[in-house]
Amino acid sequence: MSFPIVSTGPGATRQVLAEHPDMMVVAFRFEAGAEGALHSHPHVQSTYVETGRFTFHLDGRDIEIGPGDSLVIPSGLTHGCFCHAAGTLIDTFAPRRDDFL
């Protein structure tokens, strides 16, 4: 099944890659200078950097990550990111983000 590419703001898109009620895999693509706005959600999120360079803002801390790096964002933690070099994040959410369907 192919899912649509959805704009998430200037220079950023998301595309669901796979979904099940217990889990969802999503590709987020960013142009350099694009941001993922600060937000929180009840889902546990795992983020893997496929390409690009990002600074993640995690509950007041900044963490720089690049290709091959990953991190886990606990449920309810305020987070967002800034893209320094264009790239793709592969995020997994548990349970599924029904708001993305």
- CATH number of domain containing 23: 2.60.120.10
- The whole-number average pLDDT for the span 6-26 is 98
pLDDT reported for residue 36: 97
Taking 90 as the threshold, does the pLDDT of residue 1 lie above it?
Answer: no
pTM score, whole prediction: 0.96
pLDDT reported for residue 43: 98
Give which of 88, 91, 21, 80 is closest to 55, Cα–Cα: 80
Taking 90 as the threshold, does the pLDDT of residue 15 lie above it?
Answer: yes
Give which of 84, 91, 87, 92 is closest to 29, Cα–Cα: 87
At 36-85, the pLDDT tens digits run 999 999 999 999 999 999 999 999 999 999 999 999 999 999 999 999 99
What's the burial of 73, exposed, middle or buried (CB within 10 Å: 0-12/13-18/19+)? buried
DSSP character for 99?
G
Query: Residue 35 sits in which domain range?
Result: 5-100
Report how many domains make up the chain.
Answer: 1
What's the burial of 71, exposed, middle or buried (CB within 10 Å: 0-12/13-18/19+)? middle
